[in-house]
Structure 1
Amino acid sequence: MNKGTIVSLNVGTTKNIAGDHEKEVLSAINKQSIKERVLHLSSTQIEGDEQADLINHGGLDKAVCVYPYEHYHYWHKLLGFPLLVGAFGENITLRGFTEADTFIGDIFQWGEAIVQVSQPRRPCFKVAKRHGVNKFPLYIKETGYSGYYLRVLQTGNISAKDPLIFQERKTDCSIEYVNKITYHDKQNQQAINRLVELKELSPAWKASL
């Protein structure tokens, strides 16, 4: 596989996703699919996209959130209802690169831009809030179906019609492997040390390890 197909390109603005009598929860997880427009990808975000929580989302190492389209069927079967693309607040719903075959440091060309895989997407309570499934973050950790983030190495114009074309592999640590060590093999100090030494893995993820 040398390129991934964008099923949906999604952007959104910050809104309150809490119920009428609940404490306010600001999030840009409710994103809209953009089909025809050409957008500019800066070093920190896609044009028109927002992140409410700048500690856990956005920034240089989390400019673009990717979620594999392949997992949507699994969630439909587990939850008993279908999820629309963009359900995880991802910017790119991508066919062709799951956590198992996407590695920390992988470089892709996307339109005029060059992007690099920086870390897994950490399960967030806002996914549970959006879909009314309290255990959703737990399910994501159990399956490893987390999605992942991209940093921007070269800014430029992008669109949903532009595939992610694989360019270069920098490490032998897949997103699946990072999730496994982080959530299921926490006592494996040798593996943790190995991950911490990866210059391509985001500093925030290293700190969490």
Structure 2
Amino acid sequence: MDNREIIYLSKGLPKNMVYKDEAYESGIWKEQCEELFVGFDQINGDQVANPEYHGGSDRVVCVYPFEHYAHWESVFGKTLEPSAFGENLTPIGMREDQVCIGDIFQIGEAVLQVSQGRYPCSTINKRNNNNLLLKRIVETGYTGYFFRVLEEGKITADSQIKKLDSHPEQITVSSIHHLYFHDPSPSVEVIEKIVGIEELAPKWKKYLLEKIEKLPG
């Protein structure tokens, strides 16, 4: 029985902000909404500020598991705002260790496929006024992840989340994160297996192949 549920939907346009006297522009500041129209390349009314590192067809819907909010609030003793990590979709029952690259879900009218984990950046610190957050996210692997869009459509706050297909390789988002960030001597065969998953976003294939190149010998 599926035990998945939407807690928040969020979207937003890039904003000019200031953090510690430094100006920056980012799309991480999103606002709660009752529905999203999810297209193949972006969500209506949702844009990124730096397309080199954000957005594109492999990163249309940003997901951050709601379970992590309680963890961070306990660690830092501070209540977090909705979409504190710049995500579009905040669900329960869909942690990084519960979803695999290539898994397919229907949420409302949209059919979505897990494409890659999130490579977190320091804007998360700025968004939450917390210089320790990025480091702890990398340590824990509580990064969130992205969907590509297989079928466009509307998602509403009360839409059901249905798993349509489990990828046969069963490589979780969490396992790739820990291999990349925390395994000093990973198996080349394991990396090559992961890189061989067609559904994994090319950017992450590049990261993993670079890790092979850095291995001793």
TM-score (norm 2): 0.90
Contact kept, 8 Å, 2:115 with 2:148, in 1: the verdict is yes
State the 1:135 CA deviation. Answer: 2.5
Question: Secondary structure of 1:74's match?
Answer: helix
In 2, Cα distance between equivalents of 1:99 and 1:179: 9
Match of 2:181 in 1: 183
Q: Deviations over 1:34-83 (max 9, x none)?
A: 02xx4321002221111111122111100000000011111001111011
1:107-126 correspondence runs (5 A): 107-126=104-123
How far 1:190 moved relative to its partner?
A: 2.3
Q: Distance in 1 between matches of 2:19 and 2:118?
A: 25
- Letter of the aligned partner of 2:148 in structure 1? R
**1:169 aligned to which of 158, 166, 169:** 166
Specify the alignment match of 1:11 in structure 2: 11
Supply the distance in 2 between the matched residues of 1:10 and 1:147 (Cα, whole angstroms).
Answer: 15
Are 1:6 and 1:162, in contact at CA under 8 Å, matched by a contact in 2? yes
Q: Assess, with a 3 A threshold, how the Cα gap between structure 1 residues 115 and 155 changes in structure 2: closer, same or farther.
A: same
Q: Shift of residue 207 of structure 1?
A: 0.6
CA contact (8 A) 1:9 1:160 kept: yes
Query: Amino acid of the residue matched to residue 11 of structure 1?
Result: K
Deviation at 1:5, TM superposition (A): 0.9
Could you say which residue in structure 2 is the equivalent of 1:42?
Answer: 39
- Which contiguous aligned blocks of 4+ residues in structure 1 show a shift greater than 4 angstroms? none
Provide the secondary structure at the position in 1 that maps to 2:91: strand
Unaligned runs of 5+ in 2: 209-217
Q: Please state whether the residue corresponding to 1:17 is helix, strand or coil.
A: strand
Alignment size in residue pairs: 206
Q: Return the offset for 1:18.
A: 2.0
Equivalent residue, structure 2, for 1:61: 58
- Measure the CA separation in 2 of the matches of 1:76 and 1:135: 13
How far does residue 19 in structure 1 lie from its aligned partner after superposition? 3.5
Correspondence 1:85-100 to 2 at 5 A: 85-100=82-97
- 1:152 deviates by 0.1
1:128 aligns with 2:109: no
Which one of the candidate residues 73, 80, 97 is aligned to 2:77?
Answer: 80
State the identity %: 39
Residue 142 to residue 20, structure 1, CA distance change in 2 (3 Å): closer
Give the match for residue 195 of structure 1: 194
Distance 1:169 1:120 in 2: 17
Gaps of 5+ in 1: none
Give CA-to-partner distance per residue, 1:87-144, whole Å, 9 cap, x none. Answer: 0000001111101111111100111111000011111110011112222211111101
Residue correspondence of structure 1 range 149-160 to structure 2 within 5 A: 149-160=146-157
Give the CA deviation at 1:186.
Answer: 4.3
Asked whether the equivalents of residues 3 and 165 of structure 1 are also in contact (C-alpha less than 8 Å), the reply is no
Label 1:45 to 1:4 Cα distance change in 2 as closer, same or farther (>3 A): farther
The one of 134, 137, 143 aligned to 1:137: 134
